[in-house]
Amino acid sequence: MKYFATIEDQIFEIEISSDQELIVDGVRLSVDFQSIMGRPVYSLLLNGRSHEAYVYPTESGMEVLLQGDLYQVAIEDERQRRLRNASSTQKVQSGEFQLKAPMPGLVVSIPIEEGQEIEEGQNLIVLESMKMQNELKSPCAGTVERINVAPGDSVEKNEVLVILG
Amino acid sequence: MFKKVLIANRGEIAVRIIRACRELGISTVAVYSEADRAALHVRYADEAYLLGPSAARDSYLRADKLIDIAKHTNAGAIHPGYGFLAEREDFALAVQDAGLDFIGPRPSAIAAMGDKAVARATVTAAGVPVVPGTEGEGNLSDDELITIAPQIGFPLLIKATAGGGGKGMREVNDPKDLPGLITAARREAESAFGDDNVYLEKLIVDARHIEFQILADGHGNVIHLGERECSLQRRHQKLLEESPSTFLDDELRTRMGELACTAARSVDYLNAGTIEFLVDKEKNFYFLEMNTRLQVEHPVTELVTGVDIVTEQIRIARGRRLHYAQEDIHSNGWAMECRINAEDPYNQFLPSTGCLTQVIPPTGPGVRVDTGVYSGFEISPYYDSLISKLIVWGETRGTAILRMRRALEEYRITGVKTNIPFHQNIMDSHRFIAGNYDTRFVEERFSMDEAEEGKEAEAHIAAIMAVLVAHRQTQEASQIVRRGERDASNWKWVGRWERMQR
């Protein structure tokens, strides 16, 4: 099975030829890969060199925390890569953004209103958790479509607070 | 003299105090909220009693219940730890009125240092320099603050009168932002301390935050245990502390240490406390505040001086003399502490809650981990985000940094996001290694995205591990589909089919 892993502008071609062998950019490497203490810590022995990292699946690939550095890795297999190359001209723009609560907490204030134009980085909600007031900022510009919460509300993790159009 | 101590706190500091008591042969009483039934301090104490629901105001802030439990269990003393009720003079007074010993300063000293205006006036009178500001002016209205602000000059800080730990604090660079920021600071102060009074203070630019550990007994002895460099902060929250400070020489250290003792004497201080100073580029120093309690970062001082501060606290509260005179205190080597918080350094340091599925702390030479949690424990949103303190000692600052790097990489925590990668990046930062940092370093001159030059790139390893995990997921997903097609093995299906044909 052959995969293409992309980190920023670097692309690695990685073929899993067997349980014990990888071919990385044409070079054969012996491999022993195990999950330590359950996911997400993994131990990798690569030609005898020992590596350990946290690997978290994300919506678009994997996040790897290795020696204090975080890598965003996009992964495609051969079929996905062919499909994408074939359809690369059609780009779909989905403008909607949902602000979800990153942790449970208490809504302190909402400095925006529905219908308002928002700039990137603008403060959408002030959420109190762990004795700290956290300003949740917008990652993009847009219009406030809906506000699902009111000041004083307790919210659960991942609850949708605000929808931007 | 008390033989049993109630610890009015939770988390790592409750565990720290229980350990000291146990080593001294003193019995311990833990208290806990509903969220903390399985916490380490409950498991380690001789006795443990429920205070109430998880929110702090219903549990760890219930002074009445704490005193009732102490009386009921015949505990002779209460140790407040830090945070919660540690700096509330009314609590210290209530403890004394109940006939119990308070392991900390006298209520009068808490009051004097707790009201920052009184604190400034008191230490100024004793000859200790302070930062210019409105603290001595009493509780001013918004309009009065806005009128006075230009006299102090911008940039300035809005601070909560009852505050600490950066809560209710706002920085003002532009006069037109002042009214809005005063409102925000008051709101945060009200929710954190139940007191919305704020004051203004000149912001010292390029400042270092250096504090001195004080010990004072009931026989008139006041000594200091040297300094802690606490400049590595984010939003006024300390993240890393070290001792000694690269910024002080012996002459300045002696002068600041003596003034710290003077400041403590000015309020007739008893027990352990900390004098915080701001030091500017020209090495002018200003009294900032006194923390009238045990500090989070006290282990740093313990590792370089060899003094067990909590044990000394208990000795002092029992009316004994200090074990040490000033000339007995020598700093040996270098100590460094990283606060390991449940915060995501890649996402604006937002707190992360959840179950700690696994914790493997670092061990080995020169490493100390103070913690109140373990694998399977739930990090709840009710309390602060401190998971543990990782403290290392080395003969020199260089060896301490190398040891900290080693320990951080050994530390494995899963289930919540932690700021360990942040500390790893700090340990690789050339400016930090050179000791060249101030209180703004993290916010203004440090980025998690910029790798330091000369660091070995391991992107290909990350790519390989990501692919191997993705490959595994794909395989597992396809196996699940195949298993679901039939609920029994093929041999059973053949058997059933054959029976049907009979």
pLDDT of residue A92: 42
CA distance A9 to chain B (A): 11
Average pLDDT over residues B102-121: 92
pLDDT of residue A93: 45
| Among candidates A3, A104, A130 on the partner chain, residue whose Cβ is nearest the Cβ of B385 | A130
Give helix B107-114 / helix B89-97 axis angle, nearest 10°.
Answer: 170
Q: Annotated catalytic residue: which of B293, B315, B368, B403?
A: B293
Q: Is B476's Cβ below 8 Å from some Cβ in A?
A: no
Say yes or no to pLDDT of B390 above 90: yes
Asked if B350 lies within 8 A of A103 by C-beta distance, the reply is yes
Q: Is A104's Cβ below 8 Å from some Cβ in B?
A: yes
The answer to whether residue B255 is catalytic is no
Instruction: Label residue B47 exposed, middle or buried (CB < 10 Å: 0-12, 13-18, 19+).
Output: middle
Beta carbons within 8 Å of B171's beta carbon, 6+ residues apart: B155, B156, B157, B158, B181, B203
pLDDT of residue B169: 87
Q: Which residues of B5-41 are buried (b: 16+ CB within 10 A; e: fewer)?
A: bbbbbbbbbbbbbbbbbeeeebbbbbbbbebbeebbb
Say yes or no to pLDDT of B102 above 60: yes
DSSP assignment string, B221-288: -EEEEEEEEEEEEETTEEEEEEES-TT--HHHHHHHHHHHHHHHHHTT--EEEEEEEEE-TT--EEEE
Phi (first) and psi of residue B197, to 5 degrees: -75, 135
Range scoring the smallest mean pLDDT among A54-63, A122-131, B256-265, B490-499: B490-499
- Residues across chain A: 165
The residue among B233 and B115 whose pLDDT is bigger is B233
Residue B444 to residues B218, B343, B451, Cα–Cα distance (Å): 45, 19, 16
Q: Is B347's Cβ below 8 Å from some Cβ in A?
A: yes
**Cα A113–Cα A114–Cα A120 angle in degrees, nearest 5:** 75
Cβ(A3)–Cβ(B470) below 8 Å = yes
Tracing tokens 């000394």 back to the chain, one arrives at B312
Asked if B471 lies within 8 A of A16 by C-beta distance, the reply is yes
Residue type, B308: D
Residue B180 to residues A133, B142, B502, Cα–Cα distance (Å): 16, 10, 86
pTM attached to this predicted model: 0.81
In chain A, pLDDT over 70 holds for what percent of residues?
93
pLDDT of residue B482: 52
Distance CA A138, CA A119 (A): 7
Cβ(B137)–Cβ(B147) below 8 Å = no
Instruction: Label residue B454 exposed, middle or buried (CB < 10 Å: 0-12, 13-18, 19+).
Output: exposed
| Among candidates B346, B357, B458 on the partner chain, residue whose Cβ is nearest the Cβ of A67 | B458
The residue among A86 and B386 whose pLDDT is bigger is B386
Provide the terminal-to-terminal Cα distance of chain A, rounded to the nearest Å.
Answer: 40
Average pLDDT over residues B48-59: 95
Closest CA to B439 of B105, B174, B204: B204
Say yes or no to pLDDT of B477 above 80: no
Which tens digits make up the pLDDT trace of B191-211? 888 888 898 988 888 899 999
CA distance B106 to chain A (A): 28
Distance CA B337, CA B299 (A): 8
Distance CA A138, CA A126 (A): 12
Distance CA B364, CA B204 (A): 40
Cβ neighbours around B74 below 10 Å, total: 12
Which tens digits make up the pLDDT trace of A76-112? 988 888 777 766 544 444 567 888 888 788 898 899 9
Residue B449 to residues B390, B422, B446, Cα–Cα distance (Å): 24, 10, 9
pLDDT of residue B205: 83
Q: Is B468's Cβ below 8 Å from some Cβ in A?
A: yes
